[in-house]
Structure 1
Amino acid sequence: MKAKLHYLNSISGPKASFYSINYQELVDGPTKQLFNDFLEEYQSGYENELMNMIGRLKNMGNTNAAKEEYFRLDEGLDWNDLVCALFDIPEKFLRLYCIRISEQIVILGNGGPKPKYIRAWQDDPRLTKEVNEMMEYSRIIRTKLENMDFRITSDGLHLEGKNLRLI
């Protein structure tokens, strides 16, 4: 499998940059993107929640930055894995998992519905898969940042490195 970070120009702005993960499961297979997979899968049945999420992300990118209060932090199993969820609105069920590098850089992943009767993501096979995937990508990204394979630009808004390749 190949994977690399992809800058999301449509929701990024002068206050925060958003990336997603492009991946290719087979050598000759199509390139897909985690955040697009999320949008496509839940566009039917969760349209209002998706529109609300996109609006909040655009607001972060252009006005407020990706402040801690907009995310449910520490969603992963390790205290420093940076995996979080876009804070859900009461009475809404859709959960989007992310890697929050800083107040200015967030990597959007995938997610799914988390009904209120489910206490933790570990209680749902779909959410467990998505969080575990984000924890693995987070481990790779943190290692690349530590090894200086990836760098945060001087303005704090972008990641740079050799093609932003993860795998």
Structure 2
Amino acid sequence: MRKDLDFTKVRYYTLKFEDDIQELQKFYDKYQPGHSKSINYIKMWLAEIGEKYGAESRFFRPEDNAKALPPPTTLIRSIDKQIDEENMHLRLYCILLSPEIVILVNGGVKESDATRDSPSCWKEFQFASNIASQIQKMLSDGHLQIKGKMLKRSKSFKLTYKK
């Protein structure tokens, strides 16, 4: 468990597949060099949501069965936060499981209005959506349980995806 992902109201998890680095770290490594302000903006929202609000769906952009950060601009305006228009194009895909648990996946640069027209976003959205479906099935089958800020998985818990 990464300490920087555990806040008062929310514990963020990330995915790690066999012999690979964490998906969140892949996102940071890929976009930090050219999009450091956008990465910091997303990190600020992770901390803000994690400490102040909890993982309410209104803080995440709806993307089918996955979600995305940063929050929608209407929400940012409604809580009197400064909108950083310049750094609103990077998306971090998430799976919102409860007000206390969010799984951070990966993301990309949103280059057009439609996610499917943004190549790096579309690929990562499809990945997040597929994993979200698998996780929902694991929850309903009892192979994954939510206990407060903890995720408990059975021995038969397994996610699969080929990028």
TM class, shorter-chain normalised? Answer: 0.7 to 0.9
Distance 1:16 1:8 in 2: 13
Quote the offset at 1:165 in angstroms. 4.1
- Segments of structure 2 that go 5 or more residues without pairing to the other structure are 72-83
RMSD (CA atoms)? 1.8
Q: Secondary structure at the match of 2:98?
A: coil
Match runs of 1:40-55 below 5 Å: 40-55=29-44
Which digits, 9 at most, give the CA deviation of each residue in 1:33-54, with x for residues without a partner? Answer: 1111000001111111111211
Tell me what 1:101 maps to: 97
| Residue in 2 that maps onto 1:142 | 136
Q: Where do residues 103-118 of structure 1 align in structure 2 (5 Å cutoff)?
A: 103-115=99-111, 118=112
SS of the residue 1:32 aligns to: coil
Question: What is the one-letter code of the residue matched to 2:145?
Answer: R
Partner of 1:86 in structure 2? 69
- 1:58 is matched with which residue? 47
Identity %: 29
* Pairing 1:14–2:8 present: yes
- How far apart in 1 are the matches of 2:110 and 2:14? 21
Output the CA distance in 2 between the equivalents of 1:151 and 1:56.
26
Of the candidates 58, 79, 86, which is equivalent to residue 69 of structure 1?
Answer: 58
Question: Aligned letter for 1:160?
Answer: K
CA distance in 2, matches of 1:52, 1:121: 20
| Counterparts of 1:60 and 1:8, CA distance in 2 | 17
Q: Number of paired residues?
A: 146
Structure 1 runs of 4+ aligned residues shifted over 4 Å read none
Does residue 158 of structure 1 match 2:135?
Answer: no
Whole-angstrom distance in 1 between the partners of 2:20 and 2:91 = 24
User: Secondary structure of the equivalent of 1:31?
Assistant: coil
Would the aligned equivalents of 2:10 and 2:101 in 1 still touch at CA under 8 Å? Answer: yes
Residues in 1 aligned to 2:54 and 2:119: alpha-carbon distance in whole angstroms: 32
Report the counterpart of residue 119 of structure 2 in structure 1. Answer: 125
The more displaced of 122-131 and 38-47 is: 122-131
Partners of 1:91 and 1:71 in 2: how far apart? Answer: 18
